[in-house]
Amino acid sequence: MTTTTRPIPAVARLWLWLLGIVLLAAGLFFAIGGVRLLMLGGSWYFVVAGLVLILSAIQIIRARPVGVWLYLLAFGGTVAWALFEVGADYWGLISRLLAMGFGAAVVLATLPLLNRAAGRPARPVLPLFGALVLLVAGLAGFGSMFRIHPEVVAAAPAAEAVAVTPETEQTDWAHYGNGVANDRFAALDQINTGNVGQLEVAWTFRTGDVPVSTGSGAEDQMTPLQVGDKLFVCTPSNNVIALDVDSGEQIWRRDVDASVGGVWERCRGLAYFDATAPIQQPSVPGSTQVPPVALAEDAACQRRIIMNSIDARLFAIDADSGEFCADFGDGGQVDLKDGVGEVDNIAYYTLTSAPTIAGTTIVVGGRVADNVQVDMPGGVIRGFDVMTGAMRWAFDPGSETPNRELQPGETYSRSSANVWAGTTYDPASNTVFLPMGSPSVDLYGVTRTEMDHLYGASMLAVDATTGVLKWHYQTVRNDLWDFDLPMAPTLIDFPTEGGARVPALVFATKAGQIFVLDRQTGEPLTEVEDRPVLPANIPDEPYAATQPVSVGMPQIGADTLVEADMWGATPFDQLICRIGFKSMRYEGLFTAPDTDMSLSYPGSLGGMNWGGVSVDPNNDLLFVNDMRLGLWVQMMPQESGAALSDGGEAPNAGMGQVPLGGTPYSVIKDRFLSPLGIPCQKPPYGTLTAIDLKDRQVAWQVPVGTVRDTGPLGMKMRLPIPVGLPTLGGTLATQGGLIFFAGTQDYYLRAWDAATGQEVWKSRLPVGSQGGPMSYKSPNTGRQYVVISAGGARQSPDRGDYIIAYALPDEG
């Protein structure tokens, strides 16, 4: 029996040609890219699928029904390959199957037309029904993208409600991280899981200081302080404002208008000191005493706000009046550039994190700009008298005698490791803990000294009265990845397996590691494993043979990537990401940079950053937010006369060759993104994680942030797809069983149930936020407030100057 082809309308013929050409282009893309991937040792799928799609396209253009069956064969093979490669991983299946599934629906719906063209009965019922099923499945898959898909689902409630009592209730938020423990925990429960849905804006204040978005410029990353009836805020230009806690009305304002030319300008927080309050002396045997302070009862500045500015000054401001404290330094300020030597660019030595009041000593570090040149200001850490501003001590991490007093004309060591993040004070032992960064420059260790290798990427414990080192613990040896310690540690009473509790500190790193150290000795309280790592080939580089990995605590976003982890909104950009991944040298977490192109993941932008962690001490829960954003890195011979970096963030964003002054190299770095501007590895790109400190396991982990206010090629998608985006800023835990966080790429303040990780409330912000939420109870009205600053999200052009307070409806 033979069949006779039938002529079909021109419109139908045009459709077959159009469909065939689309499939042919897709098949060619798959086949050509697949051959390239296969040559790099990658998956064979794209070559095979591409060839079948090409055959399908040719047959459809020829109006042959076999073209449909060839496409369905490719689709069926794709389903089998996807399940084999990623199993039940949600985002992995979406990337591989969604586009091909919609294609299968369209192609199958075309079968009756092809049957008719081939002279056969059209028989449309089964093909159209099958196409409808595929279409519904595709729409269901697309719709499922709007639901949150936890990485780890809570097996049981991770927290139990513990009621606040008058004895345990928080009175003030008087330190950057709330209490001296820096735990970002509010012992308040007026706002709780049962009523958080009723939260509403109580007041909004505009500071008038909008951070300029330049890529290397100003950002709002502030957490306010609250003492009594005043809320204290600072702006990216280091202007300080006191607000009424209930109305948000301005009480006083002290403008400093600091600037370093638009590079890295921000004020993350302030410090507070009350000279009328009793001084807490240490209880740990052998600790030094806290020096007393002397101030007349009728003197001004009994209560003072301490601020270090972006242009390296230290200020004392009367908390009651807003006036500078005349008895502090020179008219209320101290020049922190004294002793650091030559600063070629004012943006090379800046203060970006809040100072710490350690007893009666102000402790400050300083940010030394990354990847500029070898000869930079040093990372000296100093302690100043809180009343007079006189320097009590200095710890010079580049010197073998770090506490030595400078002689006239001398400066502190150049280019040493520095403390750009915050610090934490333990009153029980009169100790301040210092998270150290890397010596300049980050990617080249040949010029580093013995002291640089000793203190780089380490946690230091220093006597707060004398500045004498007690102990140090190193988390990265000869850091070539900018895996410095980015946050002030949090003090906890760590539960041991025997039921005892050990005074400890916990902190997280850019490398996705979480360390728990004994507060008195610096020894790890959870297992840390020394793992061998591979060197690269930079001449004379003193590569470390091993690196410490904190295996006794969960590692967040630090998995070793494989090709199957590459992702894309479509199979096409996934293929490009696979080729990019296989084209780079990648040996896991500590892949050393070299003159070839290598991948660093989670990268210097990734892991956990300056926002720190929060803790629920009643339930022994640790909350961390992270970003997962790999960087590709390549060292290049340095071009003669090339301009140095301005010290901003642009070297991490593909600005071309950035000279590393004083070395033979320039560096090229950029985010590992698909052609659509999406991170190449699978989602999520940012999560919120609860860790049970009792068993050291992840209790729950959820993606945070949607693509509503961002998207491919920098366009706002306007779709609330909770893919989880890179996060900045810190979390707030409350005794009401809630976790608040706003540092996402979309414009929301959110709350999660601490027991389950379920999102229970969110409020739209006028712009994004990188600030840390805080909470207090008004001494006047008894209302609990949650406050957030919103000045703009990272990578967003939208900027603002908002301080927003939320509260339950005022029943009075």
Contact 59, 67 (CB under 8 A): yes
Two tokens, residue 300: 């001004």
DSSP SS3 for 456 = coil
Q: Which of 546, 545, 547, 567 lies closest to 555, judged by CA?
A: 547
Q: Which of 260, 365, 247 lies closest to 308, judged by CA?
A: 365
Q: What is the DSSP letter of 305?
A: E
Distances 563 to 143, 507, 572, 606, 612 between C-alpha atoms, Å: 27, 31, 15, 19, 31
Contact 593, 631 (CB under 8 A): no
Query: What gap in Å lies between CA 325 and CA 314, rounded to an integer?
Result: 12
Instruction: Go through 338-359 and write b for each residue having 16 or more CB atoms within 10 A of its CB, e for each that does not.
Output: ebbbebbbbbbbbbbbbbbbbb
Read off the amino acid at residue 597: M
Query: What gap in Å lies between CA 708 and CA 745, rounded to an integer?
Result: 9
Q: State how far Cα 204 lies from the chain centre.
A: 26
User: What burial class does residue 362 get, using C-beta atoms within 10 Å of its C-beta: 0-12 exposed, 13-18 middle, 19+ buried?
Assistant: buried
Catalytic residue among 183, 318, 426, 482: 482
Distances 434 to 371, 469, 492, 577, 751 between C-alpha atoms, Å: 22, 10, 16, 39, 31
Query: What gap in Å lies between CA 509 and CA 479, rounded to an integer?
Result: 12
Query: What gap in Å lies between CA 756 and CA 754, rounded to an integer?
Result: 6
Query: What gap in Å lies between CA 176 and CA 173, rounded to an integer?
Result: 8
Residues in the chain: 812
Residue found by looking up tokens 């990216």 in the block: 236
Q: How many helices (H) and strands (E) does the chain have?
A: 8, 40
Q: What is the DSSP letter of 643?
A: P
DSSP, residue by residue, 654-709? T-S-EE-BTSSEEEEEEE-B-TTS-BSBPSPSSEEEEEETTTTEEEEEEE---STT
Q: Is 482 a catalytic residue?
A: yes
Read off the amino acid at residue 486: P
Q: Which of 67, 96, 95 lies closest to 80, judged by CA?
A: 96
User: What burial class does residue 128 get, using C-beta atoms within 10 Å of its C-beta: 0-12 exposed, 13-18 middle, 19+ buried?
Assistant: middle
Query: What gap in Å lies between CA 525 and CA 766, rounded to an integer?
Result: 43
Does an H or E element contain 92, and which?
A: helix 90-109
Q: State how far Cα 4 lies from the chain centre.
A: 65
Q: What is the DSSP letter of 713?
A: G
Q: What is the DSSP letter of 50?
A: H
Q: Within a 10 A sphere around the Cβ of 33, how many other Cβ atoms?
A: 20
Query: What gap in Å lies between CA 431 and CA 383, rounded to an integer?
Result: 12
DSSP SS3 for 514 = strand
Q: Which of 730, 617, 746 lies closest to 269, judged by CA?
A: 730
Query: What gap in Å lies between CA 510 and CA 485, rounded to an integer?
Result: 7
Does an H or E element contain 59, and which?
A: helix 45-61
Q: What is the DSSP letter of 727?
A: -
Q: Within a 10 A sphere around the Cβ of 415, how many other Cβ atoms?
A: 23
Contacts of 23 (CB under 8 A, 6+ apart): 53, 54, 56, 57, 60, 71, 103, 107
> Which positions are catalytic?
482
